[in-house]
Structure 1
């Protein structure tokens, strides 16, 4: 590994200038847009903390394939929820690390890690595959690659099987003899280094969950107290313990060890301060604790602190600094909370007459129904959406998505929520424990206005598979016994919504229309198949010709239209006509304003180079607005993030009036602000 691949720009830590004898260098390649990279960073930080005293090891994060400036990257790292203290560098133009190391070794995807010793590459792979055991082996003077543990599929399966068996043993020991019953086994497991630290910590939390179910609240909290003392400098352990206690809905409020929760959160605050990256989350949880204690004034103060420390709060502070604006956070929050009202309670969906048939009647009769006495058929004369619900047992509780939550968001987007011509049924794809289902649906936020059916066999899963569904959340739209559409809910096309809203429907015409759509889909699939073959054969001129010949024919298909648009935009970029490239993509997006995933992808294209970025300010803002408007996550944080990116783009343009408007919209969407508004309302009522 030649030294000319080492980055020149360093963000934190000691720069690497030469290969020191017998020293191991771990280079972790990441980017801000790479979710798996960000997810792996706490693991790398853990390895750094465990081995940072060893002078023969250095862990270096290298930002690659990114377009952020070193200054923006420093700010990005500063705002990470988990403080990162290992060395950080950036491959600014891609001409060093990417060109000299990654490209020759055909590293096309990140995150990725190189381990280098004495100038030689001794290991490469995913950062989560890197363990303390492997690093310790690499540091030995007599190290050889052959000495590294080799992970195979069989080895992983064996380890998972042993882990599940161990989990069951710990559970049984606690059931019989309390927390002390499992203590010898847990000590033995820790001393054997059999499992990773994350798995060990998970095993150590099992006694808490078991004892909580048994109503032994004091003993359960002693388990977590011991855990926090053992891992006193571990941010994740402290924050998870505090969260487990605050969210333990089966624990009476007068039994909660508030002092333990506060101690964990104070430690989190101190840990984050040490890295000069004070985090927002501990302050938000501190506010929740104070609210539980009835200390509403303090709760509001802590929530304001959490908002200030959020990434949006920091962006607002930066905007104030640039503009000299003196508006206080309190004034901003007062404006942002205007119009925030709690959603009115949903009413239980009414089911009128049903229509019995030979398929759905037997299927529905196999269900145990919740929120409804039972159904012998689908509602007659309506478009019925079946929401396929997935839930599973975890630590003695049933966990899963809110029934029909994503479907509700999509129906609302199309103006069909609680529409008289639309009915919804929720069916679990697998048989479940009925008592657990009842308890699950009675939890706060899990209530559903729709009938929820749990089957006695695999009949619902058989239906799911027969509809060729592969992902969750998915749904099927059925009208008069005919499956009109089935697929991922967030990708439901607008024509399904148009059909669902109709008062009457000619069954023969519907069948004819669906046959035409099926033929259309088959033709499109044929064109796709041919295009893949041409690309595989590297017949790019024939590939482009095929796309152009079919561009008009499939112009109403978002996926095909985006492929054509990307091809045309790519040609424009080759000609260095960046304005034309942006216009092509922007026009395509304007035709499909429901496609948030497409808008997200196009935003990355717009921001992929300095030249594209210069020409795509307005188009990028429109893409972000589409992402916000078409959001099916039901997550105000996502919406706030869209507006925050708009705000930061406006700041780059020095369009401060627009930036302030975007900031206000972002705060109005931010869940923290909604939580703050609810707290303030309770204080006022009190």
Structure 2
């Protein structure tokens, strides 16, 4: 499978859209978090904040100690997480608004490093932060090889999705939630109107529900391991008997089933499965296209189907259109239709240039995105001349 970070972003974007259409989910749920899953939450509202440990403090001044009667905001994010990037301008505004009353720090976690140490992601994270510039107008640090921040903060607090924001006062965690809700919470805290005990009870209720959900995901690990080992028949048998009553679990089972069919090169069966799935829920088209584009040596028919799914995605609200055109181009390229691939890549390139000028798609379209699209366009043009 292709580990292209834009492809991962594209898939996550579509899965997130599907989640919103079934159950409210404030953030990107990622199965990587289950690697660190624990039985019970150990970090709660009102507890002292864990130690800060990181691989590199990328931007701003490191937090060495917590000042009394002063707020500290720690925002957990990743470069592939669309909602994280969407929240960055708002967090930057808050950092400026409360510059004398609070310190904001973005903590990078859960980058996709495969079998490599986590710190191998540092160059790409630093490149991202530098490219975003003042749209990320606050401190930034990256997790270390032990993934201390992910384990001792996020997972310990039962947080398995990003973006996630921790608000501290006097060294204690007084609130955990979505960054878009932070402004009103900070106002309440600064005005002396914030009821931490009431929120603690609410948070504990959410924790119970989240633990139940993660337990369901935990049950999928044997299937994932079998799939990764290419034990496709074994994985399929387990999918057939798995409990798919939960919509999150059902979605992941369907993604795995489709990945298995593609891995087995059972193209006709895979396309039939995909067509029926899209009929049930059009929002999964991007996820299906992402799986197809991540596979090599498929027939032109399959890649052309991915291109058509990509075109459908273009009509949806909130889509990063240059990225979608880029992947439609990739689908046509893999199908051997280089002429159409060039047309789509030119759309992607122009869209990316326009987005940079207009300040659109912050974090998703960067200066090096334009370079990447230019490289792809040049490659298609060279290939068609052979």
Larger of the two Rg values belongs to structure = 1
TM-score normalised by L of structure 1: 0.28
Greater helix proportion = 2
TM-score (norm 2): 0.45
Higher relative contact order (CA 8 A, sep 6+): 2
